[in-house]
Structure 1
Amino acid sequence: MGGKKQPRTKNNTQPSSSDRHAQRLGTDQLIGFSALSDLGYVPAPVGGAQDEGSSGAVSGQMRAVLKKMAKKDATTKSKATQEFTELCDSHSLDDVKLALPFWPRLYRKLATDVDNRVREMSHVALQRLLLRVRKAATPHMAELVPVWLCSQNDPYPPAATAARRAFQNVFSVPEKQSGAVKFCYSSVLAYVKEGLYDQTPQTYSDPSVMSVDELEARFVRLLTGCLSGLRELLELLPEDPEDARGASSDQPLADIVTHNKFVKLAKHSHPQVRRWWFCLVSRFCARRPGLVAAAGARLAPAALHALNERDPAVLTDTWDAAICLVTTVPDCWSLVNVRKAVLPQLWTVLREGGRGCAVTLHPLMIVLLSRLPQDAAGDPDELHRLFLSSMYQGLSADRVTQSAREVSVIVRSLLECALYLLRQGCSEPVVAVIVDQLCAVTSDVIAVWRRTPGPALYRDLVRPELEAGRSELPVQLLATVYRLCSRQERSQLALDVTREGHMSMVLELLRLMERSGPAADPELASWAVSDQLHAAVLAAVTATSDSGGDQWQHTLQAIPLLLKDHGKSGPTGALGRS
């Protein structure tokens, strides 16, 4: 008979006061992943229920937006984040500063959300907020920077761009960026270490509100973010550990690298985790070589045993890391089984033409060849034969034949490695292999080489050898090099060897013309009867005092060929007049 009854609640419990709950949360300092566990609160004025306009109170509009950003619905969070961005500009500076303490925990949640748009908008809002409050955000940077740094290589490109642009706009010069990561050095490493080694898909996210795929995707983003964030940290820190945080600054980094779970990430099932692991190892080699050398027993097998990576998106970074380790760790080869674990994978990748990555992979081959132990295959000749023959077989791979650029890169790499072995004084069997394989390069490959823009073969490979006085090296490869050169390069080659007086190469060019016939190469035929060539031969005859030397023998063998060409073209030229 009385008034209207209040609706009953289960077990007659009373609803809690969100204001009192928010007041308590607002005074806690939550650092680490525990800060992401509960964000369903509305920031209330300090001291209980106060009027909206009282001193120290967050405005009602700002409280409403902050509450919506803590919702589960992605559309609600995205719109609320955009509205918060606008409020940072429209509200007074004092109002924005009052909301600042509640932002770090929200940002850490939004920046790792499963929705791409929410992650992107969180970085836009962060930039707008920090540019407004400036130095007032300093006490909160230790909570913001770890997630911020680890978001700059987000798999969703707009989110990664937004995070990187925000970091560059807030810290506008490299000195400020370096100072920010030095200031937050410990918090970044603590975040990375916890993310890589302590979290799991179930502990990092809530299984009750996410599907299995969402749990896994969010956890993979955590792993790739921590690896890429640590790489960004190394890039921004000074190379000298003493300039970073003191004499012991590298110890937290060493603890991460030497952890048992670190090398296991090189075999992770997700390719992006593997890719960022190898990228991080390469950066460690460049920025902290001493730390890598100390951890070489763990890192070298993980990288060198992975040369046969099947995913093309990971293969290049795997090889980069392997080459960096080989050049950084002094006893690298003693830490792995070269003959059984490394060489079989190397031959496979070479025979398959680099699996679509020849453009980035094959320029590294000359470095690897120079670093391989000579007894890796038991016999140096066998090692060099397998290396060159496997690379030559790669020209026939399906992916390579469909790419003119890859054909060009492999041919160039093959010539570089051949010149290197000749320069090192390889044995006659290896020289025979080099000549046979280069002479076997098909006309189709040569046509592709000539059409492909890039470094000039003669200018970048052969001419430096001539200028260094090593004419005996190119002469063994002259037939193939001449076939690969363009018409302009051929003329330049003939003129240069004439001007420098390399009679061995002059003789080889004349023999080449004799075999093919003057009609097959008009440029070479014109060169053979030129005054410049005849004058060079006469100068060589006059200047050579040792009648038993190679230069004298080459000159004598060249004269009959010159006279034959001279007789066909008429009594002109210095040699005919003499």
Structure 2
Amino acid sequence: MGGKNKQRTKGNVRPSSSGRAAEVLTREGGVIPGFVGFGSTATFELSYVPAVHGAEDIDSLVDADFRMVLRKLSKKDVVTRKEKQKRLKERRNCFDHDRRIREATQQSFEQLVLKVRRSLAPFLKSLMGHWILSQCDTYSPAASAACQAFQAAFSPAKQPEALGFCKDEILNVLQDILLNETADSLSDPQNVTAEEREAKYLRMLTSSLLGVKKLLSLLLPSDRAALEDRLTPLLSSGKFWKYSKHKSPQVRGAFFEMVCSLCEFTPGLVQAEASRLCPAVLLSIDDTDPVVLPPVWEAVLHVVSTIPDCWTHVNARKGFLPKLWAVLKEGGKGMAKALHPNLMPLLSKLPGEVTEPDVDFYSSFFTALIQGLSSERALTSQSESAAIVTSFVECLKFGVLKILLPLLERALSEASLQNGPLFYLLTHMLLSWERRAALSGDGEAPPTGEVFQSLLAGFWEELGVLCVRYVDDEEADLQRLEGLVMRSPETTRTKHVQKKKSARICFSKPEKAEITEEDGVEKPAQAAPQVVEEKILGALQDPHFEDTVCQLALICLTHVNERNSERHLVFLSRLMRSFHTPRLFRVSQTFYPFEVCSD
């Protein structure tokens, strides 16, 4: 047999090899040691002769993938060398399919940054684009590691400067991925499976969209303004706007996050692209994917706030509102906690052309909200139903004030409304709210009382602002000041429509007076002044009301003392006759000392 011709060794061990010995030493110590020789000097120290690495020794120190690429580069074939040179250039572990590799790469890069420090500067422009992509990795630990490396390299004060220095190179990388790259161009189809290529492509798209958002948020205003022209090709591309309907929820969510950033930092650009941006955002409100819904609604609020004419680019009645009603009827499709807090801010931004007629709009809106309480998720989740109820109350409060306050403001300048039943009916409504707000401690469910407490507080706050605007004016209109008393002097002495007397808002019921009836109309039997003895429907106890009255009295006293305003003095006298409370008299006493009866 051939084996008999081989040299035998004791114990059948392999013969010694200097090459293998050097390989073991290199693997254990990292370098090939030299040997100790004789020195040429008279000292007793031994001299050191360094070893010379051979080609095979160097190969053992190089990563296998890189070693293969380097060997291919030595081939004579130009095509082979060019292909392998491109592969070597694009060898980036930060985009590896394995998320653990990406995380470890960023952790290693952080240590490298800490070692090289300022020596990183010459390579910054070539690195920064991919560094931003890594900070927006869809795998949170990898993104966090990249952010830590970035923070290790630059202090918070230096980060905007570093990004501004490389802004063009960063945007080149991001735009190239968003507009030019494909799944096959980002990965080698021969070595990477179709699933891995597609996953990497979607991950790169998501990171690029988020990278634009991050870049805009961190740049200095001057650098951001200089970058607007560079963003124009991206926003003018039809491929970019198709990402709003992409099959991947991660890509769609990242797209709407980028839109929010564009609206916030580059309003001029979004205004120029309003014809494509508004439909892309406003007609996506029915996208209830958990990844997409929060950024979609944030983008909706940004668009309606940034682009005043946004509704001219969208058919609200045929496109926007039907989708809104469908989402509300389904209770937000299980996303009420994220969706419903945005409803009240949205209502505040809707113009009249969208909500008119208001009665029909709010009827459909609140009906859809109530139907949402019957959705499957709302019935099984207390947090979901609570989010719907809270949103309902907030929107109801806004709707009541939006419709009622303009009517009151109009009544201040029109005598016909002042002499009509408006203030009488308003008193009835406020008394009803007060009763329901006070019942929360007597057995009724607390949320019911909180609803009416919130309505009362909001009403008096808005009404107070309205009243102060008219009273705190040196040339205040007497007709409007008369209306601010919220009573009509004429109706206190005449019959009211439907045999009801005009009501005046007060805080406490007066002493009982003898009442006689004549022709079915109640009249006081005494000859006391009508203002004091008129029939009272109820006693408003809300502290916000008294605060408003006292605030108006102080404004009148200031105008009387400082400017000798007769019209404010007349208004003050009527105000005190209508709302005669101890607190109001104490407020007046600060300007004109007098004794207040304790009875």
Alignment check: 8 A CA contact 1:171 1:177 kept: yes
Q: CA deviation at 1:217?
A: 0.1
Alignment check: 8 A CA contact 1:152 1:161 kept: yes
Specify the alignment match of 2:302 in structure 1: 324
Change (3 A) 1:190 1:556: closer
Alignment check: 8 A CA contact 2:288 2:332 kept: no
Change (3 A) 1:471 1:402: farther
The SS at the match of 2:101 is: helix
Specify the alignment match of 2:174 in structure 1: 192
Change (3 A) 1:113 1:276: same
* Equivalent residue letter for 1:208: Q
Q: CA deviation at 1:149?
A: 0.8
- Identify which of 135, 138, 156 aligns with 2:139: 156
Cα distance per residue 1:181-208 (max 9 Å; x no partner)? 1111011110011000101111111111
Specify the alignment match of 2:148 in structure 1: 165
Change (3 A) 1:330 1:136: same
* Equivalent residue letter for 2:223: A
Specify the alignment match of 2:223 in structure 1: 244
Q: Distance in 2 between matches of 1:382 and 1:422?
A: 14
Cα distance per residue 1:519-539 (max 9 Å; x no partner)? xxxxxxxxxxxxxxx994459
Q: Distance in 2 between matches of 1:222 and 1:408?
A: 38
Alignment check: 8 A CA contact 2:252 2:292 kept: yes
Alignment check: 8 A CA contact 1:146 1:187 kept: yes
* Equivalent residue letter for 1:129: L
**Are 1:463 and 2:441 an aligned pair?**
no
1:139-538 counterparts in 2 under 5 A? 139-173=122-156, 175-238=157-220, 240=221, 243-244=222-223, 248-376=226-354, 379-425=357-403, 462-469=456-463, 536-538=508-510
Change (3 A) 1:198 1:419: same
Cα distance per residue 1:10-38 (max 9 Å; x no partner)? xxxxxxxxxxxxxxxxxxxxxxxxxxxxx
Which has the larger displacement, 410-419 or 276-285? Answer: 410-419
Specify the alignment match of 2:38 in structure 1: none
Q: Distance in 1 between matches of 2:446 and 2:58?
A: 64
Q: Distance in 2 between matches of 1:60 and 1:236?
A: 49
Q: Distance in 2 between matches of 1:328 and 1:464?
A: 27
* Equivalent residue letter for 1:206: D
Q: Distance in 1 between matches of 2:123 and 2:67?
A: 23
Change (3 A) 1:557 1:248: closer
Cα distance per residue 1:290-316 (max 9 Å; x no partner)? 221121111111111111114122112
Specify the alignment match of 1:131 in structure 2: 114
CA RMSD of aligned residues (A): 4.4
Q: CA deviation at 1:155?
A: 2.0
Q: Distance in 1 between matches of 2:288 and 2:393?
A: 27
Alignment check: 8 A CA contact 1:404 1:448 kept: no
Q: Distance in 1 between matches of 2:332 and 2:532?
A: 45
Change (3 A) 1:150 1:552: farther
TM-score scaled by structure 1? 0.60
1:40-55 counterparts in 2 under 5 A? none
Q: Distance in 2 between matches of 1:216 and 1:258?
A: 25
Change (3 A) 1:447 1:397: farther
Specify the alignment match of 1:76 in structure 2: none
The SS at the match of 1:210 is: coil
Q: Distance in 2 between matches of 1:244 and 1:112?
A: 28
Q: Distance in 1 between matches of 2:237 and 2:287?
A: 23
Cα distance per residue 1:63-89 (max 9 Å; x no partner)? 8666347489xxxxxxxxxxxxxxxxx
Change (3 A) 1:355 1:549: farther
Q: Distance in 2 between matches of 1:235 and 1:550?
A: 66
Alignment check: 8 A CA contact 2:301 2:346 kept: yes
The SS at the match of 2:291 is: helix
Change (3 A) 1:555 1:216: same
Identity rate, percent? 32
Q: CA deviation at 1:448?
A: 9.6
Alignment check: 8 A CA contact 1:293 1:330 kept: no
TM-score scaled by structure 2? 0.58
Cα distance per residue 1:472-530 (max 9 Å; x no partner)? 9xxxxxxxxxxxxxxxxxxxxxxxxxxxxx99xxxxxxxxxxxxxxxxxxxxxxxxxxx
Alignment check: 8 A CA contact 1:70 1:106 kept: no
Q: Distance in 1 between matches of 2:263 and 2:511?
A: 54
Q: Distance in 2 between matches of 1:546 and 1:321?
A: 61
Q: Distance in 2 between matches of 1:170 and 1:551?
A: 79
* Equivalent residue letter for 1:251: D
Q: CA deviation at 1:106?
A: 7.1
Q: CA deviation at 1:465?
A: 3.5
Q: CA deviation at 1:409?
A: 2.1
Q: CA deviation at 1:373?
A: 3.2
Q: Distance in 2 between matches of 1:391 and 1:336?
A: 23
Q: Which has the larger radius of gyration?
A: 2
* Equivalent residue letter for 1:253: L
Cα distance per residue 1:425-476 (max 9 Å; x no partner)? 2699xx9xxx9xxx9xxx9xx999869xxxx76776643444555799xxxx
The SS at the match of 1:261 is: helix
Which has the larger displacement, 306-315 or 199-208? Answer: 306-315
Q: Distance in 2 between matches of 1:249 and 1:223?
A: 20
Cα distance per residue 1:23-60 (max 9 Å; x no partner)? xxxxxxxxxxxxxxxxxxxxxxxxxxxxx989xx9x99
The SS at the match of 1:306 is: coil
Change (3 A) 1:299 1:468: closer
Alignment check: 8 A CA contact 1:412 1:457 kept: no
Alignment check: 8 A CA contact 2:340 2:391 kept: yes
Gaps of 5+ in 2: 1-48, 69-84, 408-425, 427-431, 467-485, 488-505, 514-527, 542-597
Q: Distance in 2 between matches of 1:210 and 1:448?
A: 62
Cα distance per residue 1:378-424 (max 9 Å; x no partner)? 63321111111111211121112222222222212111111112112
The SS at the match of 2:296 is: helix
* Equivalent residue letter for 2:266: R
Q: Distance in 2 between matches of 1:68 and 1:539?
A: 102
Alignment check: 8 A CA contact 1:407 1:449 kept: no
The SS at the match of 1:148 is: helix
* Equivalent residue letter for 1:273: V
